[in-house]
Amino acid sequence: MTILFDLDGTLIDSTEAILESFHHSFDFHNHPHVSDEAIKALIGHPLDVMYTELGIEEAGVWEFVHTYKEHYREISTQKTVLLPKAREAVEEARKFARLGIVTTKTGKFSRILMEHFGL
């Protein structure tokens, strides 16, 4: 048997890291900020889609994504929290199933966060 866990919103909450990284990218590229609510409404979609929906022209989207990822890498472990009972759920499931993670984050960032939280 295999059990798949969604990473964000099930095991961890990285909302603060996501918001800070978006605002950093807007500052870096001298772009007006959008509201936290607008960003939160798009969490779970790929970054390029989020930036396009937030008004970034297609030609510049990947520059914003690159800036976001650089900043996120620096702050992700400090600005992300393990959700209550997440560790217990993983430990219990591990007793009788193979485990996997489903996320729109890259494998690299996912592994860093999972290792940071000892999962």
Rounded Cα gap, residues 81 and 36, in angstroms? 18
Provide the token pair at 32: 């007006």
Point out the residues that are catalytic.
Answer: 6
Rounded to 10 degrees, the C-alpha dihedral 32/44/16/20 comes to -30
